[in-house]
Structure 1
């Protein structure tokens, strides 16, 4: 069963900038509020034109409501996520974390098979996590659309 409101974030490592920099999601989310959103792929049209830019634009407002971190996750390698972050000017606003083997995505049971993008990818979703517990979860009904997971729809 996919992750639900009230569940704990799984103890899975993601990667930031390089394969050498592990970020444990359970540790990252302990003792603070974190907004996490996932996209099907870096540099894809909807992700680059709408989804990520919305969180970058709204980062100060979101963090002003007591959120410590805003995290973007995609089933891509850390070098791609880092390059996409530079392209989208996320520095200091949104952390770009790679889930190269989809381990985190599968632990959440929010994976989808998108052969044109290389196979297993993440569904598009957003969540508010408070001290490691999911408080709000917005999964796109079709897994990839741009409606409920946008930054403007998150009730922080």
Structure 2
């Protein structure tokens, strides 16, 4: 399960995979294409809800920078993880992110696989998960994709995405 095999890249269309969407309005079944296919979307994926780096470093940066991202032209901010919809809803609520960030629950890792962003975390007892990543998507087409090559949040954090949005405007 290599994380770069068949990985989405600039110019790739977003695949349509059934998933669960968690928003301030509730939870609904939808497709990745319906959620990520319209307007300018910042999509970021984390290995797991409530996991230390994701909960303390990754998600809070997007919550804190949501207004700046919207001011930069972003229509929607979406966080995905290979967790069930109940865990994702609890995380969205506990983090105070609902209303600013929408969440995709990819319980079986099908979206992670379709995007070529799945990673085997079995060594940590977590099974298949998303590799820590982010993408800028305009009208369903990937404009740029970022993948962390080491533990922590640098290339996929909100500050890096804000910088990438500036580059995209050029």
Tell whether the structures are fold-level matches, with TM greater than 0.5: yes
CA contact 2:14–2:37 (8 Å) conserved in 1: no
Q: Return the offset for 1:28.
A: 2.1
Partner SS, residue 4 of structure 1: coil
Pairs aligned (count): 154
3-state secondary structure, aligned to 1:89: coil
Identify the residue that residue 139 of structure 2 maps to in structure 1.
131
Question: Residue 79 of structure 2 aligns to a residue in which SS?
Answer: strand
Aligned pair partner of 1:52 in 42, 46, 59: 59
2:7 paired residue among 2, 20, 23: 2
Q: Alignment partner of 1:149: what SS? A: coil
Report if aligned partners of 1:41, 1:117 keep a CA contact under 8 Å in 2: no
Change (3 A) 1:66 1:117: farther
- Structure 1 Cα separation of the partners of residues 13 and 87 of structure 2: 28
The aligned residue for residue 69 of structure 1 is 76
- In structure 2, C-alpha distance between the alignment counterparts of 1:147 and 1:46, rounded to whole Å: 11
| Cα root mean square deviation, aligned | 1.5
- Unaligned runs of 5+ residues in structure 2 are 1-5, 166-170
**Shift in Å, 1:121:** 0.5
Structure 1: unaligned runs, 5 residues or longer: none
TM-superposed deviation, 1:89: 0.3
